[in-house]
Structure 1
């Protein structure tokens, strides 16, 4: 797929490149999921090469169905590029005014503004790409005890809307944050 988004560099982090996941991202996915903090907040942790390939296959299937769009977020390093995050736009349906944004951040990228910049880039793309289909609202949800995700939502323009009751498979109440199309 030829879609590539960019988020500008900051004083503490280089430019981000967001692109659809590729088959050769297996090792990067496995490395990111070795982080216990990431596994704590993820519904479906990836622990084997087979699970990483399934993750990448689902990503390709989502793009092909034009309903679920998962972006690998990369930053430049002296040796090439490094995976720093994943941002996902899901539940995109023509005529439906809202969709959901999700994300995770790899351990080495936390605390440098990577997630808010990546979420902002995908949000802007989503509103531009799906405006004709009626998309006017994006939601970002997280468990109430995930304070970092609350900060990411706020920094990327998602206003707190409400507390959601716990609902399996999520063991705790959650927050719903909302961003409206400009």
Structure 2
């Protein structure tokens, strides 16, 4: 009898105010706080953050998604992380991607699966508007993000100098272009 591995499906969907409690809970993780650019300490911070994501969708320049695990036969879903396509401008050849993974979801391929889904969606949706490449930036000492980038076929392009305060250490720039 052959063994079968099952990987629960991931769903990427726009953030909702109903996600605030889960966002606050996962944001307590010290690793996420180290690498993340936003601090969500309580429900008020979470609501502000979700509303900012919704404004990005409305403006058409930033598309933030909650990464949810959907288990077959289950009514509930679990927040696994977040992923974003940002700096989207018609006629501009590049946009940026970013992601984070909740502590309980790390080591399960969540970031790379979500990044692959977002990458396909971005090129399918915005290629006709001139999107030619996606850029992924991470600090050089964030080895997990580097592995996700490589696994998701984002080639290392260059090392960028630090730009404090938002990017306090040197960083890697990875690039992915659409498949021919």
TM-score (norm 1): 0.92
Q: 1:18 matched to which residue of 2? A: 12
Aligned residue runs from structure 1 range 75-154, under 5 A: 75-77=69-71, 78=74, 80-154=76-150
Kept in 2: contact 1:13–1:113 (CA 8 A): no
Q: 1:171 matched to which residue of 2? A: 168
Note the residue ranges of structure 1 that are not aligned, 5 or more in a row: 1-9
Q: CA deviation at 1:91?
A: 0.2
Q: CA deviation at 1:79?
A: 5.7
TM-score (norm 2): 0.93
Note the residue ranges of structure 2 that are not aligned, 5 or more in a row: none
C-alpha distance in structure 1 between counterparts of 2:101 and 2:85, whole Å: 15
Count of matched residue pairs: 173
Q: CA deviation at 1:168?
A: 1.2
Kept in 2: contact 1:33–1:47 (CA 8 A): yes
Q: CA deviation at 1:72?
A: 0.3
- Return the index of the structure with the highest Cα Rg: 2
Q: 1:3 matched to which residue of 2? A: none
